[in-house]
Structures are given as C-alpha cells and as structure tokens.
Structure 1
C-alpha cells in the first residue's frame, strides 16, 4: 500500500543512502602490495648496521673527549646519526674505510663537524653561533 507521500520520501531516503555509501567507498584507501627484492632488504639492514657502528664509535674515549672539548652533547650526535639518510651513511662509511687507521677518530670528528656546519647553514640546527643560516 503506497501513498503519494511515501514515494518522494523513499526516493529522497534512497538518494541519501546511495550518496552515503558512495562517500564511504571513496574514503576507503586501496591496498597496494608488491614483492620486495633482496637488495632492498639488504640495503635497509645495512643502514641499521651502519647506524649502530657509528653509535658504537661514540663510546670511544677519544671521541667523547673531543666532543666535550667542542661543546657538543652526545644526544645531539645520536639524533644527528639517526637522521642521516642511507646515502649519507654509505658515504660516511666509505670515508672511514679509506682513512688510515690512526686518523679514524680525527676523521669521525671532522665529519661530524662538517655535518653540523652544513645543517646549521640549512637552518636545521643552531649549534655554532658563527655559522649563518643561508635561508635568511
């Protein structure tokens, strides 16, 4: 038993329901899956190993003394190491491999200084007061 009142109401309700369902479907993100190759997994693991090696180098007493002498805190260095990209870590490790055995500690400290100065120039940090930000 349909009355003239029910038809427009049902049409309106059906339109609202259809619109609601359409909006719900649009909100759901599509899932994407792909195979991960061995080189990608190895690269990610190498990045983690490189970070751990750098953090282990900070335990060396000569490095600790030099950082204290420069007024740089260990927390800042650890945060900087954590923020290095895989390419930067690879470049750093390549420089360490090419450095002579006795110059390793000095090379590490110089590299950290260069990284700190570059990030100061890019306004990412403000460690050295004599370095001016290039974005200002």
Structure 2
C-alpha cells in the first residue's frame, strides 16, 4: 500500500507541475507601446488601397481601361497585389499630376507672354510698357 500511495503522489506532483508550466506559458502576454503614427499608418494603407479600388470602379476609368485593352478584373487583381510602398507611390504620382494644379505657374506664363507681346508692339495690354520700335 505504501508503493501505491507513493506512485499516486509522484503522478499527482508531475501532473501539477506540468499544469503550472503550461498555464504560465499561455498567460504570459507580450505588450508594447503603439505609437500614434504607427496606428495611423496601418489604417492609412487600407484607406489608400480602397481609394484606388474606388477609382477603378468609376465608369470613365473602366471605359479607358477597356479602351487600352486591359481587363478590369485583371487590373483590380494587380492593384490588390501591390505593396504598400507602391500604392503610396501611385497616389503621390496621381496627386502631382492633377490637371490645372499649378495655377500660379500658368498665370505667370500668361503674364510673361503678354509682356513680351507688348514690348514687341504686337498688343497693347499693359500701360507700363513701351514699344521697342
């Protein structure tokens, strides 16, 4: 009877130790501070990709894609396969290439053209210029 109690006691201790070790490994949590910029970047990447997908859904864009001979489903699949850096690069390119975005440059160019034509006596737009003749 002494051997049986000793065996039961040994098994109980071994199982208890195993249970304690197993629960300690599961309950150990890894926590770290998450910066605001990291959280914003995570959601901005999803927003950028969904913006480009929305642009692909527009009828005029789809018509242009089909006119170029590209299947819209294939274009969506390729857009989904792009990395976050590539999506950001595409959005930067789209922002830079907006039509009429450089209104100051356009106005300056028109001013210079009118000034030169006034100096060459082709027009009389500005009062402060004199003809070269």
TM-score (norm 2): 0.55
Q: 2:56 aligns with which of 51, 55, 58?
A: 58
* Aligned positions of 1:1-136 closer than 5 A: 3-22=1-20, 24-25=22-23, 28=26, 30-69=28-67, 70-74=69-73, 76-99=74-97, 101=99
For structure 2, the residue ranges without an aligned partner over 5 or more in a row are 101-133
Larger Rg: 2
Q: Compared with structure 1, are the counterparts of its residues 8 and 66 closer, same or farther at alpha carbon in structure 2 (3 Å cutoff)? A: same
Give the whole-Å Cα distance in 2 for the aligned partners of 1:11 and 1:48: 57
What do you get for the CA RMSD once the two structures are aligned? 2.9
Give the whole-Å Cα distance in 2 for the aligned partners of 1:89 and 1:44: 13
SS of match in other structure, 1:28:
helix
Greater relative contact order (CA < 8 Å, ≥ 6 in sequence) = 1
Task: Give the number of aligned pairs.
Answer: 99
